[in-house]
Structure 1
Amino acid sequence: MKEKVILSIVTPTTGKYSEYWLEQLLKVKGNVEFVLVYYPNIPIRPVDDPRVKILTSPYKGEMMQRFVGLLNASGEYVLALDDDDFVHPDIENLTGEYFKRFPESWILRLKKENIDFKDEERIKKDWGEIPDVAQLDICKKTPENPYPYQQGNYTGLLEIPVVPLDNQFDLRYAVLPFTGRKDNLGYHFENFNNIVWKNELVQKALTDLSQATKVLGAVTWIPSTGFDRLLGLFVQAKFFQKDAIIGHWMPKPEQIRYIDKPPGLKPPRFHVISDALLVKQYPQYGYLWNLVIEKLYGVPRTLAKTVKWKFLEKR
């Protein structure tokens, strides 16, 4: 009988990843699978490794690619990774040891290092040894130590609460949008990528998300939307428990190297469209209304960037 996959690493791609990136990805040890998802009508680069599953989504767009990849992830846990970011080769062992200690957790938030895309020395630096998760102390927010992460008092596993979705809708974000939100501050997170998730929860959320995208009986996938925040918040909304601790944040050294690029090199994303799906599915949560209202004011800027992006593509 084939052993169940522990960790699925899911990556949307156009096949333009570097040989170095693929080489490093395949250095991940343990019982893992790598799911690479292309969009239609682009050349597929073959990979000679039985752990690699190559798929093609039915439509172009990051949202559909990520959805198809995650839907086909067979691992007990899942990690979404872009095709220019790097993950520690011992991530599977860390995942197994963490969830053995905390079987009720939804997530394991990995320590992420943001690295400039031109800093090859830092990108290619040897990985530090991951601390023994079984021996790490629990670090939590207390009245005596309300901000352990900011104060540097963070050498153990930092407790991560669920997003405070039941925050009240605040009309000020609509009337005075540039004052900046405060209800999104804290140790909770909104994104899905670069975090290890319990796949059982993700699969249940994907089923509901596919229904939420139905418009007039047809499933609509809009290419220039973002899937990262959408799915991260969608899972937390589906299984929301007020003030619940849903996992922990790993300490240094980093387990993810996020390759940072200038905004001009990143494709435009109409995040407000995918954010609106959250409100459509979970209108009872004021936190989501605050998010959408704030992001509406960024639409003109995104439109301008889209026009510029298309012009540069033609050139």
Structure 2
Amino acid sequence: MNNQPLLSIITPTLGKFSDYWLENLLKIEGSVQFVLVYPPNVKIKAIDDPRVTAIVSPYKGEMPQRFVGLLNAQGKYILALDDDDYVHPQVCSAVEKYFHRFPESWVLRLQKLNIDMKDEVRIKQAWEEIPDVDQLEICKKTPENPYPYNQGNFQGLLEVPIAPLDKNFDWRYLFWPFINRTDNNGYHFENFNNIVWRNDIIQQALPELSQATKVLGAVTWIPSSGFDRLSGLFVQANLFEKDAIIGHWMPKPEQIRYIDKDPALKPPRFHVISDVLLVKHFPKYGYLWNLVFSKLYGVPRTVGKVMKLKLGKTPQK
């Protein structure tokens, strides 16, 4: 593709993002495309920047908006970002260096810092310089020492393994769903957002992912379910290779600032629905069955939250 951008940053939005967030998004340097995906019947904000592509999804909801954004990503690499989270302005330089050094990697996992939405001082703090990817040593995961570092406490590029989807199903979930999972321990990940992906890997998975969402004939999309974990695990299951190293995790300081909200301010989402889609499409992977059963206990809680919203007792986002 001529003039192909290096990185596409995809953001589903209702158009309620702050001027400060937009100002900082547009400070990102280098070859970047910003894809803002709106639901139908929402006024699109006028943004005077040729790097911005504004799209209206045919359906409202997280899943269709994110999917439409991925379909329209022109960059060699993709980063999914919410419209209240921040990314380092020099991220493109780190991405370019990383994939030049590791062209076969699927992902570059950025270092993420969770910040309370009320902590404006930390949110607006100046970014520290990103470590030079070319100079970073490789922190390896070995069978003898599978978890060689505490969470986030490493100085080099930490190897990221594929999710261990071939784990056996824990039959205890059939009798007691509150058992703590252990198969999700380690440096693999489940979610899609805030991680830089190779676009060719994503485009390869999208047609099959689209088919997987068709559950009841005419019902093509499930707007109330979460696309983040569904897409992250779907891509890994689609090209699963046991114990494969699919990328690396950047060390501190952070390159992503994830704004954490009070759960009461978040809209209810039946994430277990999208988890069931994973099991439906990849029934042979015990890891996915463990995920579904471990999340079932949250369904009554989500139903209760929906009822409270309808009664006007809980403020919406």
Q: TM-score, normalising length from structure 2?
A: 0.96
> Are the structure 2 counterparts of residues 224 and 251 from structure 1 closer, same or farther at C-alpha, using a change threshold of 3 Å?
same
* Residue in 2 that maps onto 1:158: 158
Equivalent residue of 2:135, what SS?
Answer: coil
Measure, in 2, the Cα distance between the counterparts of 1:101 and 1:129: 20
The residue number in structure 1 matching 2:239 is: 239
Q: Is the CA contact 2:179–2:294 (under 8 Å) kept in the aligned structure 1?
A: no
Q: 1:14 to 1:158 in 2, by over 3 A?
A: same
User: What is the SS of the residue equivalent to 1:148?
Assistant: coil
8 Å contact kept, 2:88–2:255: yes
Distance 1:154 1:172 in 2: 35
Task: Report SS of the residue matched to 1:179.
Answer: coil
1:2 to partner: Cα distance: 4.1
Equivalent position amino acid for 2:246 in 1: I
Which secondary structure state, in structure 2, belongs to the residue aligned with residue 178 of structure 1?
coil
2:23 aligned partner: 23
The equivalent residue for 1:34 is: 34
Question: 1:219-258 residue pairs with structure 2 within 5 A?
Answer: 219-258=219-258
- Equivalence for 2:84: 84
Cα deviation for residue 206 of structure 1 reads 1.2
For 2:311 and 2:24, the matched residues in 1 are separated by 34
**2:191–2:228 CA contact under 8 A, matched in 1:** yes
Instruction: Give secondary structure in 1 for the equivalent of 2:300.
Output: helix
> Contact 1:226–1:269 (CA<8 Å) still a contact in 2?
yes
Matches for 1:124-163 after TM superposition, within 5 Å: 124-142=124-142, 145-150=145-150, 154-163=154-163
Kept after mapping to 1: 8 A contact 2:265/2:315: no
1:229-267 CA-partner distances (Å, limit 9, x unpaired): 000000000010000000000001100000000100111
Question: What is the number of equivalent residue pairs in this alignment?
Answer: 315
How is 1:1-315 mapped onto 2 (pairs within 5 angstroms)? 2-142=2-142, 145-150=145-150, 154-312=154-312
Partner of 2:8, secondary structure, is strand
Residue 182 of structure 1: how far off its partner (Å): 0.9
Q: Using the TM superposition, name which of 25-34 and 176-185 deviates more.
A: 176-185
Give the SS at the match of 1:114.
Answer: strand
The CA distance in 1 between the partners of 2:233 and 2:214, in whole Å, is 19
Q: Distance in 2 between matches of 1:46 and 1:205?
A: 32
Q: Do the aligned residues in 2 keep the contact of 1:110 with 1:250 (CA within 8 Å)? A: yes
CA–CA distance in structure 2, aligned partners of residues 26 and 122 of structure 1: 20
Letter in 2 for 1:85: D
Q: Is the 8 A contact 1:8 1:35 kept in 2?
A: yes
Q: Per-residue CA shift, 1:69-100, capped at 9, x if unaligned?
A: 11110101000000000000011111110000
Task: Give the CA deviation at 1:153.
Answer: 5.2
Unaligned stretches of 5+ residues in structure 1: none
Once the two structures are superposed, residues 201-247 of structure 1 have per-residue CA deviations (whole angstroms, 9 ceiling, x without a partner) of 11111110111122354352122110000000000000100000000
Paired AA for residue 16 in structure 2: K
8 Å CA contact 1:210–1:219 kept in 2: the answer is no
The Cα of 1:151 is off from its aligned counterpart by: 7.2
Q: SS of 1:149's equivalent?
A: coil
8 Å Cα contact 2:152/2:251 also seen in 1 = no
